[in-house]
């Protein structure tokens, strides 16, 4: 039995050509397609869908909210985003909302078919550009981090603070007095432009000045 596919895409021309493209494959069957995803969760239920092809920019609730709805009720349905948007926010919001793939609309028909095949074998298809963005997200750290110009000692102390150590514990672990710790942290706060430890921790983690875990 072919995989049941739903398409959510507001451009009717594109929607129809997607339908034709996918229906040409022996193991795909487009059960239905819609110009908006306001009832996406119910449609998925009704048609017992295996795969959803989801546009982002649509009238109504939008594709990212759509994924969320679908994944809440049917976590096993595979959802592949299919959009022309390649900005960080849309990409990461989609992933966080539970998308199983992210293909840009400049993808060739063959590659899109491959993406759908791939997602059914447990893969996570994404356009090369998207993969780039995702990898970059992990890096970019040091470039920014070095902007703050922390000394080795300061980084060490900040790292201990982020790990939840009190001033006293930091003093012990570094073999220095608590006053020195205070002084270092004071300098650190100035360099990070923050006023207290909690802010410093937030900034350190967000800007990846210290290693996460």
Partner DNA sequence: AAATCAATTACACATTTGGGTAATAGATGT
Partner DNA sequence: ACATCTATTACCCAAATGTGTAATTGATTT
Q: Which residues bind DNA (CB under 7 A)?
A: 151-154, 166-168, 174, 176-177, 179-180, 182-186, 189, 195-198
Burial category of 32 from C-beta neighbours within 10 Å (exposed 0-12, middle 13-18, buried 19 and up):
middle
| Sign, CA torsion 17/44/102/25 | negative
Smallest separation (angstroms) from DNA to the CB of 176: 3
Residue 141 interaction partner, one of its own copies, DNA, none, beta carbon < 5-8 Å per kind = its own copies
**Where does residue 94 rank: exposed (0-12), middle (13-18), buried (19+ CB within 10 A)?**
buried
Give me the least distance between CB of 106 and its own copies, in Å please.
13
User: Taking CB within 5 to 8 Å according to partner kind, which of DNA, its own copies, none is near residue 9?
Assistant: none
Least distance (Å) between residue 207 CB and its own copies: 11
Q: Taking CB within 5 to 8 Å according to partner kind, which of its own copies, DNA, none is near residue 96? A: its own copies
**Smallest separation (angstroms) from DNA to the CB of 191:** 10
Q: Give dist(CA 68, CA 99) in Å, integer.
A: 8
CA dihedral for 206, 207, 210, 213, sign (positive or negative): positive
Q: Is 195 left (phi over 0), alpha (psi -120 to 50) or beta?
A: alpha
Length of the chain: 213
Minimum gap (Å) between residue 74 Cβ and its own copies: 16
Using DSSP's 3-state secondary structure scheme, residue 104 falls into strand
Task: Report the partner that residue 92 touches, choosing among its own copies, DNA, none (CB closer than 5 to 8 A by kind).
Answer: its own copies
Binding residues for its own copies, rule: CB under 8 A, are 92, 95-96, 98, 100, 118, 121-124, 126, 128-129, 131-132, 134-135, 138-139, 141, 161-164, 166, 194-202, 205-206, 212-213
Tokens found for residue 123: 């893969």
Per partner kind, with CB cut-offs from 5 to 8 A, the member of DNA, its own copies, none near residue 143 is: none
Ordered strands of the 78-83 beta sheet: 28-34, 3-8, 51-54, 78-83, 101-104
Shortest separation between residue 143's beta carbon and DNA, angstroms: 19
Residue 189 interacts with, from DNA, its own copies, none (CB under 5-8 Å by kind): DNA
Q: Which is nearer to its own copies, 151 or 166 (CB)?
A: 166
């Amino acid at each position: 039995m072919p995989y049941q596919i739903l398409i959510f895409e507001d451009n009717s021309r594109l929607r129809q050509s997607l339908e034709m493209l996918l229906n040409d494959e022996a193991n795909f069957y487009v059960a239905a397609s819609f110009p908006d995803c306001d009832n996406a969760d119910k449609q998925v239920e009704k048609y017992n869908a295996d795969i959803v092809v989801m546009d982002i920019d649509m009238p109504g609730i939008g594709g990212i909210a759509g994924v969320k709805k679908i994944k809440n009720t049917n976590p096993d349905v595979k959802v592949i985003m299919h959009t022309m948007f390649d900005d960080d926010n849309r990409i990461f919001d989609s992933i966080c909302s539970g998308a199983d793939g992210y293909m840009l609309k400049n993808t060739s028909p063959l590659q899109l078919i491959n993406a759908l095949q791939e997602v059914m074998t447990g893969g996570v298809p994404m356009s090369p550009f998207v993969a780039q963005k995702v990898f970059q997200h992990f890096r970019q750290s040091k470039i920014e981090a070095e902007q703050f110009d922390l000394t080795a000692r300061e980084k060490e102390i900040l790292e201990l603070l982020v790990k939840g150590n009190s001033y006293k514990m930091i003093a012990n672990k570094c073999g220095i007095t608590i006053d020195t710790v205070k002084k270092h942290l004071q300098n650190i706060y100035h360099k990070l432009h923050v006023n207290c430890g909690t802010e410093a921790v937030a900034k350190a983690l967000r800007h990846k000045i210290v290693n996460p875990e």
